[in-house]
Amino acid sequence: MPWKAQNIMGLKHEFVLLASQEGANRRELCRRFEISPQTGYKWLQRFAQEGASGLQERSRRPANSPAISPPELEGAVLALRQQHPAWGGRKISRRLLDLSGEEVAPSTVTAILHRHGLISAQASQAATPWTRFERQEPNALWQADFKGHFETAQGRCLPLTVIDDHSRFNLALHACARATTEVVQTQMERVFGLYGLPVQINFDNGAPWGSPKAPGQLTELGVWLVRLGVVVSHSRPYHPQTNGKDERFHRSLEAEVLKGRSFESLAKVQAALDHWRAVYNHERPHEALQMATPITRYRPSARRLPARLGEPEYASGDEVRTVGCNGELRFRSGRYKVTNALRGHRVAIRPHRDRDGLFEVFFAHHRCLTIDLRQEAGV
C-alpha cells in the first residue's frame, strides 16, 4: 500500500486506534499497513505517552491543543463550528467532551449557534434523525457507490465511497476520474489488503457493479468479488435508500466538504477528501452511534485478501457446464442467457430441493439463474 505524503498522519492515527482495540492482531495490522512490527510498536508507545502529537515526525514539539475553560466556552463552540460548518449542537457538544473532558449540554451549544445566527430554519428542519437496521458485527456488510459527479478545472470527478454497515467506518473515499471496473477493482484491492474481506458488499444497479437493464446480473467486477468469496448483492432498482448508510454518508460529504467549493484538480479533491475522512472516522461524533466515532466500533476483518484467485469447486451431484463466449449456457437442449461476464467460467446446475422441473444455476456461492423446464414443456 503506497503511503501518500498528505495522508501519512491519518494512516498512522488509524493504525494506532485499530491496534489499540481489545483483541487486535497487531502483527497482522502491521502487515496490512506495510510497516515493520518495530515501527508499529514504536507508534503505539508514542501514542500512549503523548497522544496524537507523538505520531508526528520527530520534531518533538508538542501539538497545540487549546485547553477549553468555562470563560472560553463560547469561543470554543464558535471555533469548532467554523472548522465544521455542518455540525450541530450534539456533534459539537460531544467533540468538546472528547477534546477537553468538559460536558456542555447540546442545548447550550445550539443556543450559542442560534445567538450568532449560525443555524437557519432550513437547517433545523433538515436535522431529522435516521433510524436504520444495521448488521451486528463489522465487515458483515459493506455498502459501496459513487457519489454524483462534479466538475473540476482538470475534468470530471466521481468520489468512490465504501462504508461499513455496522460501524459507519469509511473504508474508501477516492477521487476518481472514471467509473470503470479497472478503477474500482484497483481501489478495492487496496481496501481489502488493508482491512481484509467483508462477508457481503451491496451495490446499486449502475455500472460498473450492476446492470440497469438486467438488475442483479453479475458484471466482471461481481465475478471477481464472488471468486474472492464475497457475497454480492444489489439494491432494488430505483430504490437508492437500500444503500441508505452510504447515501447518508454522501449527504454529509456534500455538506461538509463539497458544497460551495471548486477544485483545480483531482489531487486537490483527494487532499480535501483525505483530511475529511480522518475527521469523519476519528473525530466526528455520529448520532446513529450514540455520539461515538466510527473507528471505535470498527475492527478489521480476519479474512485476508488471497495472493491468487482460485476456481470454484462444485459438489459431485452438480451438473457442471462452461458458459459460452456469448454468455449463454446450454442445458437439456435449451440455451439460457447467464451473463457475458461469466464467459469461459464453469457453473453448476442443481435441481431445486422442493420443486420438480426447476433448476438453479450457481457460480461458486452466487445464484445466477433459475431454469424452469415446466414452462417450456407447457406444464
Whether 134 is covered by a domain: the verdict is no
> Which domain CATH number covers 177?
3.30.420.10
Distance CA 197, CA 179 (A): 22
pLDDT of residue 151: 94
Confidence label for 64 from pLDDT (cuts 50, 70 and 90): very low
Whether 327 is covered by a domain: the verdict is yes
Query: Is residue 269 located within the same domain as residue 155?
Result: yes
pLDDT of residue 88: 81
Query: Is residue 121 located within the same domain as residue 37?
Result: no
Domain hosting 173: range is: 142-297
* b/e 269-307 (16+ beta carbons within 10 angstroms → b): bbbebbebbbbbbbbbbbeeeebbbbbebbbbbebebee
Query: Is residue 165 located within the same domain as residue 285?
Result: yes
Distance CA 348, CA 322 (A): 9
Query: Is residue 250 located within the same domain as residue 161?
Result: yes
Bridge partners of residue 347, in order along the sequence: 321
Give the tens place of pLDDT for each residue, 77-130. 888 888 888 788 888 888 888 888 778 888 787 777 777 667 654 555 445 444
Query: Is residue 228 located within the same domain as residue 271?
Result: yes
Query: Is residue 264 located within the same domain as residue 191?
Result: yes
Q: How many domains does the chain have?
A: 4
For residues 163-187, average pLDDT: 94
Determine the distance from the C-alpha atom of residue 184 to the mean position of all C-alpha atoms in its chain, rounded to a whole number: 12
Whether 282 is covered by a domain: the verdict is yes
pLDDT of 4 above 60: no
Distance CA 174, CA 158 (A): 8
Determine the distance from the C-alpha atom of residue 262 to the mean position of all C-alpha atoms in its chain, rounded to a whole number: 24
Query: Is residue 78 located within the same domain as residue 169?
Result: no
Whether 269 is covered by a domain: the verdict is yes
Query: Is residue 195 located within the same domain as residue 276?
Result: yes
Q: Look up residue 51 and give its three cell numbers.
A: 497522544
Whether 307 is covered by a domain: the verdict is no
Query: Is residue 114 located within the same domain as residue 214?
Result: no
Residues 174 and 157 sit within 8 Å (Cβ to Cβ): no
Query: Is residue 167 located within the same domain as residue 236?
Result: yes
Whether 132 is covered by a domain: the verdict is no
Amino acid at residue number 258: L
Whether 63 is covered by a domain: the verdict is no
Whether 276 is covered by a domain: the verdict is yes
Distance CA 174, CA 159 (A): 5
Query: Is residue 163 located within the same domain as residue 221?
Result: yes
Residues 237 and 205 sit within 8 Å (Cβ to Cβ): yes
Distance CA 47, CA 125 (A): 41
Question: Domain boundary at 236, 262, 297, which?
Answer: 297
Nearest Cα residue to 16 out of 50, 47, 56: 47
pLDDT of 375 above 80: no
Give the tens place of pLDDT for each residue, 88-100. 888 888 888 888 8
Residues 337 and 213 sit within 8 Å (Cβ to Cβ): no
Query: Is residue 262 located within the same domain as residue 366?
Result: no
Give the tens place of pLDDT for each residue, 213-269. 776 789 999 999 999 999 999 887 655 555 678 888 999 999 999 998 999 999 999
Residues 196 and 171 sit within 8 Å (Cβ to Cβ): no
Give the tens place of pLDDT for each residue, 193-228. 999 999 999 998 888 887 767 767 899 999 999 999
Confidence label for 51 from pLDDT (cuts 50, 70 and 90): confident
Residues 243 and 145 sit within 8 Å (Cβ to Cβ): yes
